[in-house]
Amino acid sequence: MLVQIYSFTHPDDVRAAVEAGVDNLGVAAGDQDVPAAISNDRARELFALVPDDRTTCALTVHTDVDAIVDYARAVEPDVLHVCSDTEVIGVDAVAAIRERVPEVDLMKAVEVAGPSAVDAAERFAPVSDWLILDTATDDVEGVGASGDTHDWSVSREVVDRVDVPVVLAGGLGPDNVAEAVRTVRPAAVDSYSHTSRSERRKDHGAVRAFVENARAAAGDPASDD
């Protein structure tokens, strides 16, 4: 069970997450109107603190292919998380992004607002390295950072129907991640809102509990370390 945590802004939070066993460490960089946004330079500074056996992620809500490619090249993450509204960037555009920045994996966000998410996931899976199933909100651009869960039965159907690894996101925290893992059986789980003590700082205890509870529910031996 992989654990992904967003959105880092401070070196101490990165170090604590690495120590807690977080696998994928994410940022929201660049000129984007999203929570916990940081500069590209700051993102690269934080990424330099991440060991080689972990993964760095950078999300973007840009909707222009050239802008997304420029962003990926400027921030240099291991994983580019495209979290604009599900259908704003179509399958062909996602394929083009993936082809133009082959040095990074592409994680495509799919909003789970009903059964239509299964169809969207099946269409985007062949052009993505990862899918992240998340909850959208009118308060934040794109898909994510809502702090709310969605219908996990839909997410479980996606997991059963696609061949790429699925990250379950949306309202997950230490208190519900175990149930989410047992219900959906994703490849990874993601948290931002419920492992934060403010918009820009992480709650180190909540991060550690999230990791431990997710891995225990998945039967991961690492949870006993």
Per the model's pLDDT, the better-predicted residue between 145 and 101 turns out to be: 101
> Lowest-pLDDT range, 45-49, 142-146, 174-178?
142-146
Tokens representing 84? 């604009």
Mean pLDDT, residues 170-196 taken together: 97
Which single residue is written with the structure tokens 């419920």?
194
160 is a domain residue: yes
Mean pLDDT, residues 58-76 taken together: 96
Average model confidence (pLDDT) across the chain: 94
* Counted domains in the chain: 1
The pLDDT value given to residue 148: 86
Report helix, strand or coil for 144. Answer: coil
**pLDDT for 139 beyond 50:** yes
The pLDDT value given to residue 221: 56
CATH number of the CATH domain containing 85:
3.20.20.70
The pLDDT value given to residue 85: 87
Per the model's pLDDT, the better-predicted residue between 225 and 2 turns out to be: 2
Burial (0-12, 13-18, 19+ Cβ within 10 Å), 5: buried
Mean pLDDT, residues 104-123 taken together: 97
Q: 98 is in which domain, residue-wise?
A: 2-220
**pLDDT for 120 beyond 50:** yes
42 is a domain residue: yes
Record the pTM: 0.94
Distance CA 25, CA 96 (A): 25
**pLDDT for 96 beyond 90:** yes
**pLDDT for 24 beyond 90:** yes
225 is a domain residue: no
The pLDDT value given to residue 119: 97
> Lowest-pLDDT range, 12-21, 36-45, 98-107, 138-147?
138-147
CB atoms inside a 10 Å sphere around CB 193:
19
